[in-house]
Chains A and B, each alone.
Chain A
Amino acid sequence: MSTSTDTPRLKRTGFTAAAANYLDERTSISAVVKEFGRKIFPDHWSFLLGEVALYSFVVILITGTFLTFFFQASMAEVVYNGSWVPLKGIEMSSALQSTLHITFDVRGGLLVRQIHHWAALLFVASIGLHMMRIFFTGAFRKPRELNWVIGFLLFVLAIAEGFTGYSLPDDLLSGNGLRIIDGLIKGLPLVGTWISFLLFGGEFPGTAIVGRLYTLHILLLPAMVLAFIALHLVFVVVHKHTQYAGPGRTQQNVVGYPILPVYAAKAGGFFFVVFGVIVLIASLFTINPIWEYGPYDPSPVSAGTQPDWYVGFADGMLRLIPPHWEFEWLGRTWSFNIIVPVLILVIFLALAALYPFIEAWVTGDKREHHIADRPRNNATRTAIGAAGVVFYADMWAAASGDLIATHFKLSIESVTHTMQLALIFGPIIAYFVTKRICIALQKKDRSLALHGYESGRIVRLPGGEYIEVHQPISEYDRWRLVSQESYAPLMLRPDSRGRITMSQRLRAALSRWFYEDRLTPLTQTEIEAAAHHGHGDAQPELEEAGPQH
């Protein structure tokens, strides 16, 4: 390297320049700025859901760290002697005592607890919505399948974080939640008894569990969440964000705003908005008033108590099992009232995790996909998603079956039986209804693209008939409607040895199921013909009768 090229081309002076120079000479940071500073991010409200998840996690980290300075993760018995009079003189664990201390004797402590808890609820909720956005727009397709799996792991980890956190204060409700987990684990064949024994360090409840959950809650799980979030975001950068179809947008480009300055300001500002909204909720609405519940005791109960919303689906699934599903066989106890719901949940979650691979196998499409689908344009996928959502929602609603029953003055039996039926038939109905709606919407799009929209103006033709004038839509709007991907059902063909394998048959059957009901994609010629026909002359266009495709 010759000395002449070493002289900087840009001569800048002043403190910022000097500082930047100092840093760059030691870190090569300018390369990072060059690489990422003007990276483009597309804009759409649905892309904010993942950001909400990320920001609420940051809020959780900040507030959780504050809580660790006061919280005592110990089940040692103490006698409460703090400011909250109704519990004075009562025996409880150090964990609950310190949580009460944060609440009643540390100014702003209750606020931080409530920010932490509300942020946790929002965290899991936004992850769920974010997953649905990815699913319904097909943003999980190649090359993003692995990132879907990472996201799925984050969803599971978030629930685990929530549950371990909920259990820390060692109040009546959290103890009851642990009791249910203990019972659930004990019911698992072969290993259940021992897992419970190891987890609780002996018999339930023991004196170890809070300390152990604490290690999970503030060390292991957050470290895993952080690592996976980092990986998740690296992949977002590597793949570049998907975008919705729009004029000028293609599979080869990404259109949007550069990180510096617009995206940084927007996203940075949005962090503060999310934080602000969480604090607003936390300052106005009480969550988890442990002082009303008191310490854990295996004997008292309160009817109508609810777990945090995100464990509702699992609790609800437990409730939906009919009586007497437990058998003795080979001298062992087979608790199918536990094995079955656990299996159902595992299969449900596994299907969600593996869906991208299933769809990719069915279509055989090996191309990259960077334009997000409009959900209606992939009717079967959207219908499957809707069925999944209904299945989840029914389990979730079942967790509040008792509240629904008392609120609407129904018997708990009829509510439970309705939900058992809905668990099976709800998804099926949702599937067919959604599919029909999607196809109807596609037809509407199609007619809009070809014939424009109804102007509401009625004209009488010389022949005496009345028709409505159609107004063509702009080519930009039309492009959004017609740029869709479409698949044909797979034709079965014998392989080189003249055989048709089982897996080919299965694939063809799935492919037929996915793509049998579809509109054939529009061609440019058809669009131009319709446009020509529509406003080539001053004649208003007739609404076409009968099916068009």
Chain B
Amino acid sequence: MAQDDNGGIELAETSSTALEEHGLGDGRIGDPGTAVVLDDAPVNPGFPEHRLRITDRDPKHNRRAERTVYTLFYLSIAGSVWAIAAYLAFPIESGKISDLRLSTMLIGLGMVLALLGIGIGAIHWSKQIMADKEGIDIRHPVRGTDDTRERSIEIFEQANEESGFGRRTLIRNSLIGALVAFPLPAVVLFRGLAPQNEDPVKDLKHTMWKAGMRLTKDPTGLPIKASDVTLGSVFHVIPEGLDDTDDVLDEKAKAAVLLMRLKPEDLHVSKGRENWNYDGIVAYSKICTHVGCPVALYEQQTHHLLCPCHQSQFDITHEARVIFGPASRPLPQLPITVDDEGYLVARSDFHEPVGPSFWERNS
């Protein structure tokens, strides 16, 4: 770049001087590799003659272009004034969306005028009025000249000589070691991003469900009687007392459950899970086993649950096994029963971690 003494010569001057000096041919340095280099390559015809614009030839057009440009700039000023006026004249504090839309639009359009006025005006000016003679810069190889490169090597060698960096290997290596080691404490400090004495794996393996805890409606927290759950209905469920916990969202992100009633004969129940449903009422974790979206689209006819995020589908008649989509594992089932008053309660926590898979899931 520093070698570029050229600073944009105009074409008219260069076509006769610089171009002839540097030629129109290839003349490039470096190994062309497998490129085909022809002795008899097509010849560059050189620059075509410069054509005058209508604004160069006709003063009337030139004056009109000038008028257009300053009119646009004045319009821009008008646009700014308009935007300020719109800000003052159109309140939004009513909370009505129509007022908000109006204010947004009117302030915005004023700004649009202000911006486009400047923008289009400047471009029009440059295209129609400013001199449109193209210029030319001569390129130089990006690499430094041989002299420069030689000198820089010399400098490095001299520095090496004067410091003994290459010779005194003990100094050099111990310095490299120190430089590698010194950022490590900073890395370790970032351990503090998560609570110090907590094990994520333990947290992930449990939810707040436990034996006897009532199933309640999301978000009201009202308990659910088994008799309320009619055939084909779906309930979005949270554990009783969720709102009294410290981290409501953290707990909810693991404990959210979907409750459905099917005909008992439609359920294919595997060994050990015989008493996990109550008279065809089943509860499954609502957190997708793919990457954790809430699975909450229930197709009553097919008894399929659909996750809206990546379309995994779970078959409730077969203990929520995956029948489509990128998920791999069935949704964990929450064992349920009823208490003395007929309300649905959990028999226990889930028997496996809910939600997305993680490395230590089976450990």
Write the residues of chain A forming the contact surface with B, with a CB cutoff of 8 angstroms: 34-35, 37-40, 82-85, 103-105, 107-108, 110-111, 114, 143, 176, 179-180, 182-184, 186-194, 196-208, 212, 237-240, 247-259, 261-263, 265-266, 268-277, 279-280, 282-284, 296-305, 315, 318-326, 328, 331-333, 335, 337-338, 363-368, 370, 401-402, 412-413, 416, 475-476, 479, 482-483, 485-490, 511, 515, 520-525, 527
Given contacts A248-B19, A324-B322, contact A35 B7 (CB under 8 A): yes
**B112 with A276: CB separation less than 8 A:** yes
Contacts of B109 in A (CB 8 A): 280, 283
Contact: A40 with B95, CB < 8 Å? no
- Chain B stretch 178-212: residues in CB contact (< 8 A) with chain A: 190-191, 193-195, 198, 200-201, 203-204
Interface residues of B in 272-309 (CB under 8 A from A): 286-288, 290-297, 308-309
Candidates A85, A251, A261; contact of B26 at CB < 8 Å? A251
Query: Contacts of A37 on B, CB cut-off 8 Å?
Result: 7
18 residue pairs of the A-B complex, CB under 8 angstroms, read A40-B137, A107-B103, A194-B200, A197-B194, A251-B28, A252-B22, A252-B138, A268-B122, A273-B119, A276-B115, A284-B105, A300-B294, A322-B326, A323-B325, A323-B328, A364-B31, A365-B30, A402-B311
Which residues of chain B come closer than 8 Å to A331, judged between CB atoms? 362-363
Residue of A with least CB distance to B327: A323
Interface size class of B (residues with CB under 8 A): 35 or more
Binary contact track B344-363/A, C-beta < 8 Å → 1, others 0: 00000000000111111111
Say yes or no: is B162 at the interface (Cβ < 8 Å to chain A). Answer: no
Residues of B within 8 A of A412 (CB): 311, 324
**Across-interface contacts of A187 in B (CB, < 8 A):** 291, 356-358
B141 touches A104 (CB 8 A): no
On chain B, the residues within 8 Å of A256 by CB distance are: 134-135
Given contacts A253-B138, A253-B139, A488-B34, 13 further A-B contacts (CB under 8 A): A35-B1, A107-B87, A179-B253, A180-B291, A248-B47, A251-B28, A254-B136, A268-B122, A319-B310, A323-B325, A363-B35, A367-B29, A402-B311
Whole-angstrom distance between the alpha carbons of A84 and B99 in the complex?
12
Is the CB–CB distance between A266 and B123 below 8 Å? yes
Which of A206, A239, A301 has the most B CB atoms < 10 Å from its CB? A301
- With a cutoff of 8 Å between Cβ atoms, the chain A residues found around residue B131 in the complex are 262
A485 touches B35 (CB 8 A): yes
Complexed CA–CA distance, A257 and B133 (Å) = 7
Contact residues of B between 94 and 114, Cβ < 8 Å to A: 94-95, 100, 103-109, 111-112, 114
Q: Is B224 an interface residue (CB 8 A)?
A: no
Report the minimal beta-carbon distance from B163 to chain A, rounded to whole angstroms: 29
Kindly name the residue among A199, A261, A370 whose own CB sees the greatest number of chain B CB atoms within 10 A. A261
Which of A39, A143, A337, A522 contacts B328, CB < 8 Å?
A337
Bound complex: CA of A268 vs CA of B43, how far in Å? Answer: 37
Set of chain A residues within 8 Å of B361, measured between Cβ atoms: 332-333
| Contact present for A476 and B48 (CB under 8 Å) | yes
B58 proximal to A (CB < 8 A): no
| Contact in complex: B24, A250 (CB < 8 Å) | yes
| B134 lies within 8 A of A527 (CB) | no
B150 interface residue per 8 A CB criterion: no
Q: Is B107 a contact partner of A487 (Cβ separation < 8 A)?
A: no
A179-B293, A279-B111, A301-B296 as given contacts; A318 in contact with B326, CB under 8 Å: yes
Within the complex, the shortest CB–CB distance from B111 to chain A, in Å, comes to 5
Residues of A within 8 A of B29 (CB): 367
* CA of A269 to CA of B93, assembled, Å: 36
Q: In the complex, A182 Cα to B297 Cα: how many Å?
A: 22
Q: Does A298 contact B294, Cβ atoms closer than 8 Å? A: yes
- Are A367 and B115 within 8 A (Cβ)? no
- Is B36's CB under 8 angstroms from A521's CB? yes
8 residue pairs, one from A and one from B, having the closest CB atoms: A283-B108, A183-B291, A364-B33, A269-B122, A272-B119, A38-B8, A326-B328, A276-B115
Q: Which residues of B contact A269 (CB under 8 A)?
A: 118-123, 125-126
Cross-interface CB contact of B28 among A254, A367, A511, cutoff 8 Å: A367
**CB neighbours of B47 from chain A (8 A):** 247-248, 255
CB-CB under 8 A from A239, the residues of chain B are 142
Residues on B with C-beta less than 8 A from A524 are 40-43
User: Is the CB–CB distance between B135 and A192 below 8 Å?
Assistant: no
Report the separation of the CA atoms of residues A272 and B201 in the bound assembly, to the nearest whole angstrom: 53
Q: Mark B306-319, 1 if CB is under 8 A from A, else 0.
A: 00111110000000
Tell me the nearest residue of chain B to A103, going by C-beta. B100
Identify which of B7, B236, B288, B293 contacts A39 (C-beta below 8 A).
B7
Is there a chain A Cβ closer than 8 Å to B259's Cβ? no
Q: How far is the CB of A548 from chain B (nearest CB, A)?
A: 16
A25 to B195: give the CA distance in the assembly, Å.
58
Please, how many angstroms separate the alpha-carbon atoms of A238 and B359 in the complex? Answer: 49
Could you tell me the distance in whole angstroms from the C-beta of B120 to the nearest C-beta in chain A? 7
Contact of A266 among B26, B126, B134, B191 (CB under 8 A): B126
How far in angstroms is the closest Cβ of chain B from A379?
A: 15
Which residues does chain B contribute within 8 Å of A525, judged by CB atoms? 40
Using known A-B contacts A333-B358, A365-B31, A487-B35, determine if residue A299 contacts B250 with beta carbons closer than 8 Å. Answer: no
Chain B residues with Cβ below 8 Å from A324 are: 322, 328
Say yes or no: is B260 at the interface (Cβ < 8 Å to chain A).
no
Q: Which of chain A's residues have a CB closer than 8 A to the CB of B36?
A: 486-488, 520-521
- A83 near B93: Cβ-Cβ < 8 Å: yes
Is A247 a contact partner of B138 (Cβ separation < 8 A)?
Answer: no
Q: In the docked arrangement, what's the CA distance between A503 and B124, Å? A: 55
- In the complex, A37→B126 CA distance in Å? 16
Bound CA span A349–B285, Å:
36
Contact, CB under 8 Å: B42 / A479: yes
Does the CB pair B363–A332 fall under 8 Å?
A: yes
With a cutoff of 8 Å between Cβ atoms, the chain B residues found around residue A300 in the complex are 236, 294, 296
A49–B246 alpha-carbon span in the complex (Å): 50
Q: Is the CB of B138 within 8 A of A198?
A: no
Q: Quick check: B116 and A283 within 8 Å, CB to CB?
A: no
Contact status of A332 and B135, CB under 8 A, knowing A270-B123, A300-B296: no
Q: Which of B53-107 contact A (CB under 8 A)?
A: 87, 91-95, 100, 103-107
The verdict on A198 contacting B190 (CB below 8 Å), with A40-B8, A276-B115, A318-B291 known, is yes
Expressed in whole angstroms, the Cα–Cα distance for A522 and B312 within the complex equals 57
Given the contacts A38-B135, A269-B123, A368-B30, A193 and B363 also touching, CB distance less than 8 Å:
no
Residues of A contacting B136 with CB < 8 Å?
Answer: 40, 248, 253-255
